[in-house]
Amino acid sequence: MDIPYTVHNRPDTGIYNAKLGIWLFLASEVMLFGGLFSAYVLLRAGAEPGMWPHGWLDVRLGTINTLLLALSAITTLLAWAACKVREFGKFKFFHGCTILLALTFLGIKSYEYHDKFIHYEIALNDGTFVDGHLKEKSADFDLKKKTGTVTLHGRVVQDRKELMDLRMPAAQAAVLEEHVIQAADIKKMQNYGPWHNTFTAIYFTMTGLHALHILGGTLVIFYLWGPGSRMWKTDPERFTNRIEVSGLFWHFVDLVWIFLFPVMYLT
Amino acid sequence: MQANVQQFPPFREPGAAHGHDDHGHEHHEPGFWTKYIFSSDHKVIGIQYGITALTFLLFGFFLMLLMRWQIAHPTQPVPFLGPLLEKMLGPMAAGGAISADLYNAFGAMHGTIMVFLGVVPLAFAAFGNYVVPLMIGAPDMTFPRINMASYHAFFLGGVVMFVSFFIPGGAAQAGWTSYSPLATTIPTNGQAFWLVGMVLLITSSLLGAVNFIATIIQLRAPGMTWMRLPWFVWAQFVTAFILLLAFPPLEAAGVLQLMDNALGTSFFLPTGLAVAGKVGEASGGGSPLLWQHLFWFLGHPEVYVLILPAMGVVAEIVANNTRKPLWGYKSLVYSVLAVGFLSFIVWAHHMYMTGMGQRIATFFQATTMIISIPSVIILTCLLLSLWGGSIRINTPMLFALGFLPMFGIGGLTGLPLGLAAADLYLHDTYYVIAHFHYVVAPGTIFALFAGIYFWFPKMTGRKMNEFWGRVHFWCSFVFMNLVFMPMFAQGIKGMIRRMSDGGVNYSAARVPGAIDTLPGSIMELNTWILWAAIALGIAQIPFIINLFWSIKHGEKVGTNPWQATTLDWHTPTPPPHGNFPQEPHVVRGPYEYNAPGFEGGFAPQAEFPAAGQGHAQPAHH
Amino acid sequence: MSETEKPVTLQSYIRLCTVIFIVVMCAVGSMIGTSFAHIGEGWTAKVAIILAIAAVNAFLVAGYLMHLLSEKKLIYTVLTFTVIFVIGLFGLTLWAMTDFPVGTATH
Ligand code: HEM
Ligand SMILES: [Cu+2]
């Protein structure tokens, strides 16, 4: 006996198996990201007053990525529609676009990550803080031995709080310049990796998990676009279903970003 | 979609060369690897799950024996096994005795293994996989390859958990609940292993849950309406939904804790956290309570994952052996749905001690009391089903009957815990240990034994030995109670859980005259429990031998030895690939045991019209 | 995807998508505008507005691109329960974390 309803809808439920499967999976994904967003809100609500960062991320890059994902969501829908109207060539075109858009998204995302990893906050022994992008470390730079210098392009502040809200007029007006710092003056030096504070922690975790979803989705779509598209010749209806199901996953990933973008970049 | 297809250019007619690559239904005999290891047949996967889970249960039991030795005879070398332990685990078992750290590791892993690698895979994945498709008349699970992936993820998770015992520093030591910040500050990578293992196990459960739900919704045979489903299927259905929707928040929490452990974030670490008198490097700003919420959001529904499939097994066996329909089938169905729903909104009754406000505590007390109503309805229906039946006593039925009072004790002792005023006193004592073990050990595990004795003839065509089955039951029943009943007394007297010295530090012998110390009579129970536990272990030997011996030498029986009505007993034994030679047509409810006109006095759920006539399903080869 | 008034040509899909994309762009633009504008004290009001706009975006994607607006009852049922549980998880946790025993100090 074959498994029924792999292609056609079961009459009483009105859907085929894989469609139910993907929606169940997405329901669990809603709970997964629901848990993470809850964690975000609770951490933010529980942060000490004035210590939750604002404006730490590049809104321009975030916006571009938002539009890229929105576009890719649309090409995904069109790829499925192309299958439905039997235009295989157009399917190839649209899903080709989806893949390219997804890869560009990941490229921009990794640039943003890199930008955070070379961004340092250095607490000096005199109680001030230097904050900015790493320009260079001298060859003999060693924090433990207290030798050498490190150069940051950024600014000096008296109070860590000033580093938190970059949307404040004072922060906007700040002049960025190069600072050369002696290792011997450094109390603590840390980049803006996940360990930096709860904001970077949740930022890296949530966008990282989202990026993994993008990667997974891209692989699936790439498979269906390339080797998997052979099924078009043998069982076009089932192939169209596969495109629909993978598209639903892709749209969900876009949906997550629709909330991640404002939550991380805009507020 | 049907409507839509007409709007588009028509597809090629189906029926010709199908590009089916989803399920190998080639008719040649598959080799060993495809047949037993990389099988996508739900029956093989069910058995794989079953064997692995039973192995883990035995392993978890063994850890417990070691812990019970340590509790009864703190710091004394373990007899016989001491040298071996020292050899395998090094300084943690110095001198062959169990150090406090090793005790903690065993405790954490005992809980984890029993829950996530033992009971859930056996109750849900093994029985569910084997029985559900048969009961609903399906050829297999909806997504056979995903089913296989589910088992492999589970197996990998088990391997990761197991390996963690042997790394430097040892396995996770923060309890099966892994509370932060403890879980992040213990200096061992065991916790990271634990988290990775959990993520794998959660993935496995999610894949399984999707499959179960889709199968039950989409692959019911013609005529198998919702209200004709055997109640076991309902129980598995609700369980699958719980797994699907309650596990992901724990997966999220697991990822966050892994970040805390591996990358030095502070999701669950408060500002200014000091470890061993030193303020740590972590940035702080996190919330330890957040972990507890995310954990118990799964944790409580998880206890229903442990119990519902077991109740389902008991229901089938009770109906079969009382030879009459279950009492209140509809109430059973609505109750299990209600339990499933409510189980998502009671979790914080595990957290009364965390300084909750009265308002929120009131909410969770109320939901906890409400959820006990459908639980009690289920138990009552099963009890009333016995009323007036001409009960057939056999090993499965004995275990099923044993389940009822044991679950009753476990459930009723939960009520005081659900009320904050009582729980503030009882929390983290042996009373809690006794409570939940009554539900899972003599409760769920008995039901699982019942299920094994019951479906063994389906898998092998032979019955397990009845005499040794009864020996197994009676010994297990007596020793289980001897193990767990004294713990109520210990807990009420104030003995707290997770103490590697079994309470010596708080005993009257150690601090004479102090108020509320543990008297000698309570401390003595530790020794009692140790011997009862050892006896319980010995009582399992007949079962293990019986299980293996009967595969080859058990009494040969026909396809339907229990004269059951449900579909799983109306296929050849063992069922072939695809399960049903002809498609079953379900014509009546699951428990028509009172049908005088029928052969044997019971009416099978389905009829099998000869192939080709009757129903209009898409054609099969 | 099964409903009758669905567009049946690729052209009509492209039209639908163009409209959606334009609306999404406007929504993103207004989110950014809100983020940089001076509305109320602090962030509370802005966050509320921005999330409301994001919800519109989400509605478009879920409703049209995922064709949820014309889905089957079964899928609505599954999603309804999911949404209830997410709200429960979020709401009850938030409540638990902000409710303190009467008479104790809060931070
Ligand atoms: C309907 C009746 C039940 C009620 C009212 C109830 C209530 C409770 C409460 C309030 C606790 C927390 C006690 C504490 O930590 O102070 C608890 C613990 C526990 N319950 Fe139940 N329970 C019930 C049924 C069950 C069932 C059916 C199971 C499992 C199959 C179960 C398994 C557990 C477990 C495993 C724990 C301990 C978790 C831990 O702290 O390690 N309970 N129960
Ligand atoms: Cu609970």
Express each pLDDT in B524-575 by its tens digit. Answer: 999 999 999 999 999 999 999 999 999 999 999 989 999 999 999 999 989 9
Is C107 part of a structural domain of the chain? no
Classify residue B513 as exposed, middle or buried by CB count within 10 Å of its CB (0-12, 13-18, 19+).
exposed
Say yes or no: A26 and A137 in one domain.
no
Predicted confidence (pLDDT) at residue B619 exceeds the cutoff of 80: no
Say yes or no: C27 and C57 in one domain.
yes
**What is the tens place of the pLDDT at every residue in B131-167?**
999 999 999 999 999 999 999 999 999 999 999 999 9
Least confident of A45-54, B453-462, B529-538: A45-54
The C-alpha atoms of residue A215 and residue B361 are separated, in whole angstroms, by 43
pLDDT confidence bin for A50, thresholds 50/70/90: confident
Is C39 part of a structural domain of the chain? yes
Cα–Cα distances in angstroms (integers) from residue A161 to residues A158, B285, B490, C42, in the given order: 9, 14, 52, 15
Say yes or no: C85 and C47 in one domain.
no
**What is the tens place of the pLDDT at every residue in B28-55?**
566 777 777 888 999 999 999 999 999 9
Averaged pLDDT for residues A12-25: 96
- Peptide bond between residue B248 and the one before it cis (omega within 30 degrees of 0): no
**What is the tens place of the pLDDT at every residue in C9-24?**
899 999 999 999 999 9
**What is the tens place of the pLDDT at every residue in B275-310?**
888 888 888 899 999 999 999 999 999 999 999 999
pLDDT for B18 equals 40
Closest CA relative to residue B137, chosen from B616, B585, B476, B621? B585
Say yes or no: C52 and C19 in one domain.
yes
Residue A188's contacts (CB-CB under 8 Å, 6 or more residues apart) are A122, A123
DSSP code for B117:
I
Say yes or no: C42 and C13 in one domain.
yes
Atom of ligand 1 nearest to the CA of B306: 30
From B419, B424, B435, give the residue whose CB has the most ligand 1 atoms within 8 Å, as the site to mutate: B435
Averaged pLDDT for residues A138-163: 93
Is A72 part of a structural domain of the chain? yes
**What is the tens place of the pLDDT at every residue in B325-354?**
999 999 999 999 999 999 999 999 999 999
The C-alpha atoms of residue A233 and residue A240 are separated, in whole angstroms, by 11
Predicted confidence (pLDDT) at residue B4 exceeds the cutoff of 60: no
B374 CB under 6 A from ligand 1? Answer: no
* Strands A129-137 vs A119-124: parallel, antiparallel or unpaired: antiparallel
**What is the tens place of the pLDDT at every residue in B213-254?**
999 999 999 999 999 999 999 999 999 999 999 999 999 999
The C-alpha atoms of residue B427 and residue B421 are separated, in whole angstroms, by 10
- CATH number reported for the structural domain that contains residue A35 in this entry: 1.20.120.80
Say yes or no: A210 and A234 in one domain.
yes
Predicted confidence (pLDDT) at residue C2 exceeds the cutoff of 50: no
Q: What is the CA radius of gyration of chain B?
A: 25
- Name the residue at shortest CA distance from atom 37 of ligand 1: B436
The C-alpha atoms of residue B169 and residue B188 are separated, in whole angstroms, by 5
Check the CA dihedral B332-B333-B335-B339 and report its sign: positive
Predicted confidence (pLDDT) at residue B7 exceeds the cutoff of 80: no
Ligand 1 centroid vs B439 CA: distance in angstroms? 9
Q: Which ligand is nearest to the CA of B351?
A: 1
pLDDT confidence bin for B209, thresholds 50/70/90: very high
**CA-based nearest distance A82→chain B, Å:** 11
ipTM over 0.90: yes
- How many degrees, rounded to 5, is the angle at CA A151 between CA A146 and CA A157? 95
Predicted confidence (pLDDT) at residue B22 exceeds the cutoff of 60: no
Taking the Cβ of residue C6 and every Cβ of chain B, the question of whether any pair is shorter than 8 Å is answered with yes
Atom of ligand 1 nearest to the CA of B111: 41
Count of structural domains within chain A: 2
Averaged pLDDT for residues C59-88: 95
Averaged pLDDT for residues B7-21: 43
pLDDT for C38 equals 86
Contact C9, A48 (CB under 8 A): no
Say yes or no: A71 and A170 in one domain.
no
- CATH number reported for the structural domain that contains residue A170 in this entry: 2.30.30
b/e burial code for range B338-357 (CB count within 10 A of at least 16 → b): bbbbbbbbbbbbbbbeeebb
The C-alpha atoms of residue B377 and residue B337 are separated, in whole angstroms, by 12
For B49-265+285-607, CATH gives 1.20.210.10
A neighbour chains, 3+ CB pairs within 8 Å: B, C
Chain A residues within 8 A of C13 when measuring between CB atoms? 77-78, 81
Q: How many CB atoms lie within 10 A of CB B225?
A: 11
Predicted confidence (pLDDT) at residue B613 exceeds the cutoff of 60: no
Say yes or no: A205 and A166 in one domain.
no
A120 - beta bridge partners? A132, A191
Q: What are phi and psi of A54, to 5 degrees?
A: -130, 145
Residue range of the domain that includes A151: 119-191
pLDDT for C41 equals 81
Ligand 1 centroid vs B309 CA: distance in angstroms? 17
Cα–Cα distances in angstroms (integers) from residue B349 to residues A146, B306, B372, B415, B556, in the given order: 53, 18, 13, 11, 50
Say yes or no: A187 and A234 in one domain.
no
Q: Which ligand is nearest to the CA of B239?
A: 1
**What is the tens place of the pLDDT at every residue in B357-391?**
999 999 999 999 999 999 999 999 999 999 988 89
Predicted confidence (pLDDT) at residue A1 exceeds the cutoff of 80: no
**CA-based nearest distance B283→chain A, Å:** 5
Say yes or no: A22 and A107 in one domain.
yes
Residue B95's contacts (CB-CB under 8 Å, 6 or more residues apart) are B77, B82, B86
Q: How many CB atoms lie within 10 A of CB A175?
A: 5
Averaged pLDDT for residues B407-434: 96
- Name the residue at shortest CA distance from atom 34 of ligand 1: B436
Is C106 part of a structural domain of the chain? no
pLDDT confidence bin for C103, thresholds 50/70/90: confident
Is A171 part of a structural domain of the chain? yes
Averaged pLDDT for residues B14-19: 40
The C-alpha atoms of residue B183 and residue B173 are separated, in whole angstroms, by 7
Helix (H, G, I), strand (E, B) or coil at B424: helix
The C-alpha atoms of residue B155 and residue B278 are separated, in whole angstroms, by 40
pLDDT confidence bin for A153, thresholds 50/70/90: very high
Say yes or no: C42 and C76 in one domain.
no
Which residues lie near ion ligand 2 (Cβ < 5 Å)? B 300
Closest CA relative to residue A155, chosen from A135, A186, A119, A179? A179
The C-alpha atoms of residue A197 and residue B286 are separated, in whole angstroms, by 9
pLDDT for B3 equals 38
pLDDT for B29 equals 65
Percentage of residues of chain A with pLDDT beyond 70 = 100
DSSP code for B116:
I
pLDDT for A114 equals 97
Is A8 part of a structural domain of the chain? no
**What is the tens place of the pLDDT at every residue in A94-123?**
999 999 999 999 999 999 999 999 999 999
Averaged pLDDT for residues C85-91: 97
Taking the Cβ of residue A78 and every Cβ of chain C, the question of whether any pair is shorter than 8 Å is answered with yes
SS (H, E, C) B56-67: HHHHHHHHHHHH
A124 - beta bridge partners? A186
Q: Which ligand is nearest to the CA of B378?
A: 1
Average pLDDT, chain C: 89
Predicted confidence (pLDDT) at residue B20 exceeds the cutoff of 80: no
pLDDT for B163 equals 97
